[in-house]
Amino acid sequence: MTTNDAQQIERANATGRVPVVFVHGLWLLPSSWDRWTAHFEQAGYAPVSLSWPDDPDTVEEANAHPEVLAGKTVGQVADHLETLIGGLEKKPAVIGHSFGGLLTQILAGRGRSAVSVAIDPAPFRGVLPLPISSLRSAAPVLGNPANRHRAVPLTFDQFRYGFANAVSEEEAKELYDTFAVPAPGAPLFQAATANFNPWTEVKVDAENPDRGPLLIISGEKDHTVPWAIANASYKKQQHNPGVTEITEIPGRGHALTIDRGWQEVADTALEFVRRFA
């Protein structure tokens, strides 16, 4: 546990409020949630933006030392986050984006969240659609098998296609400079082979009655996790005893949590959380 994680958990417990845990995905850091945490704190919650194992504190540090990000697997990160959540005195709401959205669903399936919001979540075992745009977005990693053990940065053009296709060129450059960091390649290889590997870590317990309410948010113009993937994830879980819903945010790409329209997405998540926590 990093000092920052420990301080956030201690602060959340001290408030007596319902905690809201934010989980980032690939190519981002916990700091990508800073505006969200302020927004949810103002709404009366105790926000906690948790790190993956060995996350650097800053974008600059991550870009200078990408090797510390390499080799992280989905199972390792899920177990790490579950341990951190175990330090909270109240069962939290959990909100995640991209691979953070996948991790959110894994944690929900383990009964670790009171309510969950998965935003453009990466697919898990049993989610079958594989759109061309998703393959193209993953190609910078999957194109070289050696990347499984590396941390892989995106070029601006790759970031523009996979994250920032629905914003202006100017905003795309701003997002790239502000937020983009190298990402471990292993999770993408795990997701790509999940439907062929019965022992995969990329799996969600969709039937656990303790899963709680789940909302999946999809960006209409997302190249990385298009509607076909988000909707298939929803269909795999819609028969859970807990409430399961899906909504699409018009005109938004994969950068919907960090671009200038972030608050629309945050308010959609906040409204759902308020219904149940």
Long-range contacts of 128-135 (CB under 8 A, 24+ apart): 128/195, 128/232, 129/226, 129/228, 129/229, 129/232, 131/226, 131/228, 131/229, 133/223, 133/224, 133/226, 134/223, 134/224, 134/225, 134/226, 134/229
Identify the pLDDT of residue 227: 98
Total count of domains within the chain: 1
State the pLDDT at residue 200.
97
| 67 Rama sector, left if φ>0, alpha if ψ -120 to 50, beta otherwise | alpha
For residue 110, give Cα distances in angstroms to 81, 136, 145, 229, 246: 12, 32, 31, 22, 20
Q: Would you state the pLDDT for residue 115?
A: 98
Q: How deeply is 153 buried, as exposed, middle or buried, from its count of CB atoms within 10 A (0-12, 13-18, 19+)? A: middle
CA distance 225 to 130: 9
Q: What span, in angstroms and rounded, lies between the C-alpha atoms of 12 and 19? A: 6
Give residue 213's pLDDT. Answer: 98
Q: What is the pLDDT of residue 1?
A: 76
Eight-state DSSP code of residue 211: S
DSSP designation for 155: P
Domain containing 65: what range?
A: 3-276
Provide the pLDDT for residue 20: 98
pLDDT at position 46 is 98
Cβ-Cβ contacts under 8 Å for 86 (sequence gap 6 or more): none
- Whether residue 79 contacts residue 26, with contact meaning beta carbons closer than 8 Å, is answered with no
pLDDT in tens, the chain (277 residues): 788 999 999 999 999 999 999 999 999 999 999 999 999 999 999 999 999 999 999 999 999 999 999 999 999 999 999 999 999 999 999 999 999 999 999 999 999 999 999 999 999 999 999 999 999 999 999 999 999 999 999 999 999 999 999 999 999 999 999 999 999 999 999 999 999 999 999 999 999 999 999 999 999 999 999 999 999 999 999 999 999 999 999 999 999 999 999 999 999 999 999 999 8
| Alpha helix ranges (H) inside the chain | 3-15, 34-42, 59-64, 74-85, 99-109, 132-142, 156-162, 169-179, 186-193, 227-237, 262-276
Task: Supply the pTM of this predicted model.
Answer: 0.97
Pairing of β 183-184 and β 151-152: antiparallel
- Domain of 259: which CATH number? 3.40.50.1820
